[in-house]
Chain A
Amino acid sequence: MPGDPVKNLIGEDVYVSDLVIEELRAELGLNRPLLEQFLAYIQALLRFDLGYSYHLHSPVAEVLQERIGWTLLFVGVSVGLGAGLGVFLGAYAGWKPETKLSRGLSCGFILLSCTPPYFLALLFLGIFAFKLGLFPFKGFYDTLTLGSIASHLFLPVSVLALFSASRNFLILRGSVIQEKEELYALYARAKGLYEREILFRHVVKNASLPIITLLALDFGFLFSGALFIEIVFSLNGMGTLIYDAIIGKDYPVLQGAFLLIALAVLIANILADFLYAVVDPRVRRPA
């Protein structure tokens, strides 16, 4: 294990006797055998007690509770926007793959999906906040009005939404290309429906099934992408919490945060299963 949480807590310049360090270790429970520490952690967990943060001097559960709201707002808005944008553009690019616009879109989104999220966030921050001065470059602590929150969140949300959109776009494009060859699309055309109606009423409905699964599985990815973007834009969410916890070796916070993210991903997957049944009647019908 790199670094010692106790050393980190006291600070490197301070001289303390070994006795004091041992006392501190005993107080934090770090001197007990690993198995015992783990059992104690599980026991506490069953009482919804996530432990006590070394650095922030408050229960981990409270710290997380305070931060997760912001992250959920940020991720929720971006995922929604990204899904909308990705589905709409992906449907178009799959419907008419040979036009210049859809080819350009495909190239753009492939390039985007190959960029590390934080690099794009850095570029956005550099261009729009430092150079052009259009947006503030620090998180939202000052006034909690809608306008202030929106202007602080605009850049991070657009970066994360672009990422989410790039993944949805590529999936939907491929699946629309496959679906439009099916017979029901041909039948819809024979009925005399307009192109747009065939695409959005029939083809997209079938083609977007993989998107639902992807969104749920991607939830973890988006959460971590959000983490980097939060760090770059100094947003006051889970990302900066985890980052500070890594730097300060605040293990209880790290464990609690990961547990929460894992739970969120599980819940997202359960929701996706329900949503699947809503969208696709074949799943609802008993076999």
Chain B
Amino acid sequence: MQKESRAYKELGVQRNLGLTKESYTLKESGLQKFGKIFKTFNRGGLLLFFFFFFLALFPSLFAPYSPSERFIPYEAPSEAHLLGTNDIGNDILSELVYGTRISLMVGFASACISTVIGLSIGLLAGYFRGWTAEVLMGFTDVVLLLPKLPLIIILGAFLRPSIWILILVLGLLSWESLARIVRAKTLQLRESGYVKSAQCIGFSSFHIMCTDIIPNLVHVILPKFMLATASAMISEASLSFLGLGDPSLKSWGIMLSFAFSRGGFIRDMWWWYLPPGLCITFCVLAVALLGFGFEPKTGVAKKEVVKLQ
């Protein structure tokens, strides 16, 4: 019932056109079925995301100790240390909580960089067309073909291991799919009536892009932004695992890498290697699910709406 009323609200326009509720709910069953998986997921995704977000905002509220405080090393889980201690005696639960901020920051910061680049390149290529588009999209295709992770690994090996360099490299190498989508959408939008009239009135191209085109791109950009965040978090964890992360900032990936290289794995200390891995997985899942939620209703659902009219 709740779901129905929500979908009803979305289609408020159709209702005003004089459709009765019966005819609407009849058609809606297909849409309902389709959206079920993602919708039930999304509430979970939202909860998960806020959980991790609060961990990142106020780690001191959740962590029992400071992450650098040292106790007896290699301790099994007990009441004092819910997840035991690691090789140098740090409380693993506290480390885990403080690691949230680093992982989320790397994800969102590099997604911001890649979104800004992808948006500007796609927008310029879509709006100006001609040789600008040729050059920009040619460049995009080259970047698209480069094998990302190996390149990031090589760059990470050549540059100093620092979190800012990591963010920069991840951001600079993952904008190309967004650029292509933005360009395709901009090509459509620039032919629309309101853009044409804005051009006739004499607004500058920059003004038109900012006020008329970008607001209409938001529903394309947001899901991509979340997915970029998710993949940046996975890349960060992978790079840290190779020892290319910033060893002074303990992210989940670095915890996992230490657990692997400093005996947590051989000693079968599941409380050391399992929690950071699960945290990465679920945090990425939460971000990705939010991304799915931002996506506009898919083709099938759209067709249902069209049929209604």
Contacts and interface: CB of A to CB of B under 8 A. Distances in A.
Among B145, B159, B237, B300, the most chain A Cβ lie within 10 Å of the Cβ of B145
A262 B244 contact: no
Contacts of A246: 153, 157, 242-244
Contact of B160 (A2, A116, A243): A2
A216 to B, nearest CB: 9
B281 interface: yes
A221 interface: yes
B285 A114 contact: yes
B242 A243 contact: yes
Contacts of A110: 41, 285, 288-289
Main secondary structure, interface of B, reads: helix
B147 A261 contact: yes
A151 to B, nearest CB: 21
B150 A261 contact: yes
Given A246-B157, A246-B244, A247-B243, A119 B34 contact: no
Interface residues of B, number: 47
B157 A178 contact: no
Interface string B143-170: 0111111110110011111000000000
Interface in A212-259: 217, 219-221, 223-225, 227-228, 231-232, 242-243, 245-247, 249, 251, 254-255, 257-258
A60 to B, nearest CB: 14
Contact of B158 (A1, A111, A130, A220): A1
A255 B41 CA distance: 43
Interface residues of A, number: 51
B242 A254 contact: no
B243 A122 contact: no
A2 B243 CA distance: 12
A116 B37 contact: no
A52 interface: no
Among A119, A247, A258, the most chain B Cβ lie within 10 Å of the Cβ of A119
Interface of B: 33-34, 36-37, 41, 144-151, 153-154, 157-161, 230, 234, 237-238, 241-244, 253, 256, 260, 265, 268, 270, 273, 277, 280-282, 284-285, 288-289, 298-300, 303
7 contacts: A116-B237, A117-B238, A122-B260, A130-B268, A224-B153, A258-B154, A261-B147
Interface of A: 1-2, 97-98, 103, 106-107, 110-111, 113-119, 122-123, 126, 130, 174, 177-178, 181, 217, 219-221, 223-225, 227-228, 231-232, 242-243, 245-247, 249, 251, 254-255, 257-258, 261-262, 265-266, 269
